[in-house]
Structure 1
Amino acid sequence: MSSSSGLAALGLSLLLAGCAGTPTSAPSSPAISDVSPHADADRGEAAKAPLMPSTFFAGDAERFEAWRCTPAQDLVTAFPAGELRLWSAHEAYRLKATAAASGSHYVEDDLSFREQGGEALVESDRGRLECQRDQTRTALTRAQRPGVMFHGRGNEPGWTVRLAHDAPRLSLLLDYGEREIEAPYRITSLDNERGRVTLASGRADTPFDLTLEARACFDSMSGEPFPVRVTLDVDGRTYRGCGQGIAP
């Protein structure tokens, strides 16, 4: 391949990394009193679970869908009423439904997503992607995970993380369920616009760091699609996996 064609392919493969489509923004960052396990202690009030970026959630969509595209790029979508939530390897986007002669069409600024019969054309000022729908996954619900605001998981060794919906506490199940950690957490950074949250342990005797990023993620064993990449650092070891927010 010539250097010029190689650069063109690279530009297309990064189509969604820097296009002018507006990344999803979420509600404003929670007040400090809402994210610290002890922030309300002086007032005798229980600490509340923090708000998470809306890009962690499917909205009212019932499933997440994986798309395999040319040039090579994998996308994840969810279709709540009247809109499209779209995750690439680099960003998360929210597009509005618009009139279409056939199939479905969603736009935001220069970013366009046309879908019909399991095929999609994604276009922006940077180029285009031709995509095929691959597998789908039913979105987790609060009925399936009572009391859980966020659920993440990974493999080899199998592990899960669950964030409580009503307080800044989480549960870690590590090494195929052989070890469990339940602890409060504090938010060390929160970027709603980019869909990125970092958490740290609220207990000195059980240190950990957890990073959640709104990016297309695929289970390393099943290939199932998720909207959030999860990175957990605990006991000098790094666990990687995928997850999703769970709305009430």
Structure 2
Amino acid sequence: MRVIPSLLAASLGLALSACQPAQTPAASNAGDAAATPAPVAAAADGGGDGAGNQTLYRCGDLDARATFNGEEAATVVIGGRSFAMSSERAASGAKYGDGKGNSFWTRGNDDALLSLKGEADRECNAVEATEGDGSAGNAAFRATGNEPGWLAVVDGDSPGLQVDVDYGERRFTVAKPTEGADGWVGKAADGTDIKLSFQRTTCQDGMSGETFEAKAMLAVGTRQYHGCGNFGGK
């Protein structure tokens, strides 16, 4: 009398086992479909970081242009020198180093510490930040070049032209430059002729690879410097 229930139980067990494989692939496919968007989103995030966020710092007697790629890496360009750095552990802020004794340690939004091997540490302050969008902050125009490193900024609100050349060794200020169709011209306080001109065509920085809105040429006296520049809002 007990054999029939046992057979029924065995039959039910076999029936349930036979049904199980049909359910398993459905669950697996649902899992795969749910997981598929994740790698796409990650790739999109990576592409955004690749553009980099750039900030210009004044570090004592040097100008440093730092391009941050996410939180993992940074490229710091100082004059004709370029340092590729990766993230390092720090008590606060974000610290990057190249493993050769050179490091750049940001502290808050505007301050940083530049350490170059064999040189005294330099305190840095942000001068102007760009976020890969082709703007020049509040400046009407900002241009920079390499070998030797130079920087020129035309103020947007109260037009004036500030120029640093030869890696910051020489500085000039033109209080009220004359604005023309292709640039600005004037005399510095010591009588040096200064002219900053631009050509509206795509320009790529040879050191960092960054793309700018214009080619730029700076004339300081009889010497000429070539580089790239971005326009900003006046």
Q: TM-score normalized by structure 1?
A: 0.38
TM-score (norm 2): 0.40
Of structures 1 and 2, the larger Rg is shown by 2
Q: Which has the higher helix share?
A: 2
